[in-house]
Structure 1
Amino acid sequence: MSNLIIGLTGGIGSGKTTVANLFIALGVDAVDADQVARDVVIPGTLSLSRIVERYSDDILLATGELNRAKLREIVFNNDAEKQWLNDLLHPLIREKMLRDLAACDSPYCLLIAPLLIENDLTKYVDKTLVVDVPEEIQLTRTLKRDKSNETTIRQIMKSQITRKKRLASADYIIDNTSENLAVIEESVFQLHQKFTELASN
């Protein structure tokens, strides 16, 4: 297990994946909470069967996999459905996430989680790193990247912690406003050196 766990978070469209991939390219092990969330609903799992029972086969893609975009549309417009889904999946996600973190063996490990603060996952990390951009950039980048409409994206943003609270919870911040990848690479490299040093103490 790694000596140090860094929680990497940021709002939708902030560039968490870009930043995470730069750390991973430096040899850092990472556990992605979104990937874990996908893993616990793969075809054949009990949790996927429960979701199909509730929403019918219409919630599946032609491949038999969960239609995550369709599910997202349902739960982000209905608090009761969102609560039901969270009650089903969060314990499973947490259990697998902790197993995966325990298997990390680089000097420090990343826990990549959009809802790190909201879901109280900060108790599993030693330091919190926030990838930050202004909210209008979040919206613009997400509209460009996803097929969701603006209303859904704004609801997702609203469901996440405010930018001000997220920054207040940060031990470290990467400003990802720049479109110049070299600027972000330099920020990541400096933090990589800092985290490696922290892990060795």
Structure 2
Amino acid sequence: MIIGLTGGIGSGKSAASDWFASQGITVVDADIVAREVVQPHQPALAQIIKTFGHWTILPSGELDRKALRNYIFKYPKARKQLEAITHPLIRQRIIQQLQESKSPYTILVSPLLLETDQYKLVDRILLIDTSVELQQERTTLRDGQTKEQIQTIIDAQMSRENKQQRADDIVLNDQDLSYLFAQLNILHQHYLNLGSV
């Protein structure tokens, strides 16, 4: 059984996926896979240079993620071009990692689970949910971004309400970590039971 774990920026996806990993559950992280496919000497990086130009590359030879992110937020057409390059490779690698999992169930953590077709890879959707105010507060502390920058990212993602409607399970992460982990532990037992059926 594969559980798709998602949530907006600053919702607590990483804390939740780290907790599942600490319980011996295999976690496949779409963000990590997305970084791997654009490493130097990977076909995706060569395709990005060909499509957008050498300004996308840092002197180290790595992708200038910040410059490219700023560019695709300004030009929606560029975002589609980038996704056409990276998404098929990301999907292929995610499927490979999911198939290699040996744990009772597997977590696929992806901020864009519902915005892409990655939701088709999972049996259930777990939403880590929180208010927009908490998303902004946590992300400002973590990344040092302005509220405007964070709001731009939130606006580009599926609405909180839409995610809530599509989720099978929702964990409201609006208190401390012990509160989050207590809710996750209940779901963990539930998933173990479902996975053994």
Q: Is the 8 A contact 1:73 1:152 kept in 2?
A: no
One-letter identity of the residue aligned with 2:177: L
Q: Distance in 1 between matches of 2:64 and 2:142?
A: 17
Matched, 1:34 2:31: yes
Q: Distance in 1 between matches of 2:55 and 2:141?
A: 27
**Which region of structure 1 is more displaced relative to structure 2, 4-13 or 119-128?**
119-128
Corresponding residue number in structure 2 for 1:102: 99
Q: Is the 8 A contact 1:76 1:152 kept in 2?
A: no
- Residue from 39, 42, 45 that aligns with 1:45: 42
- Residue from 49, 56, 61 that aligns with 2:58: 61
Q: Superposition RMSD on alpha carbons, in Å?
A: 1.3
- 1:61 deviates by 3.0
Corresponding residue number in structure 1 for 2:83: 86
Q: TM-score, normalised by structure 2?
A: 0.95
Corresponding residue number in structure 2 for 1:115: 112
- Residue from 134, 138, 151 that aligns with 2:131: 134
One-letter identity of the residue aligned with 1:200: S
SS of aligned partner of 2:74: coil
- 1:142 deviates by 1.2
Give the unaligned 5+ runs of structure 1. none
Q: TM-score, normalised by structure 1?
A: 0.93
Corresponding residue number in structure 2 for 1:190: 186
Residues 135-179 of structure 1: CA distance to partner in whole angstroms, max 9, x if unpaired?
11111211221144433322211111100000011111111111x
Which of structure 1's runs of 4+ aligned residues deviate more than 4 A? none
Give the unaligned 5+ runs of structure 2. none
Corresponding residue number in structure 2 for 1:10: 7
Q: Distance in 2 between matches of 1:124 and 1:172?
A: 16
Q: Distance in 2 between matches of 1:71 and 1:193?
A: 41
Residues 13-65 of structure 1: CA distance to partner in whole angstroms, max 9, x if unpaired?
10100010001000000110011101111100121122223444332234322
Q: Distance in 1 between matches of 2:104 and 2:114?
A: 23
Residues 46-105 of structure 1: CA distance to partner in whole angstroms, max 9, x if unpaired?
211222234443322343221212211111121011011011111111111111110111
SS of aligned partner of 2:179: helix
- 1:120 deviates by 2.4
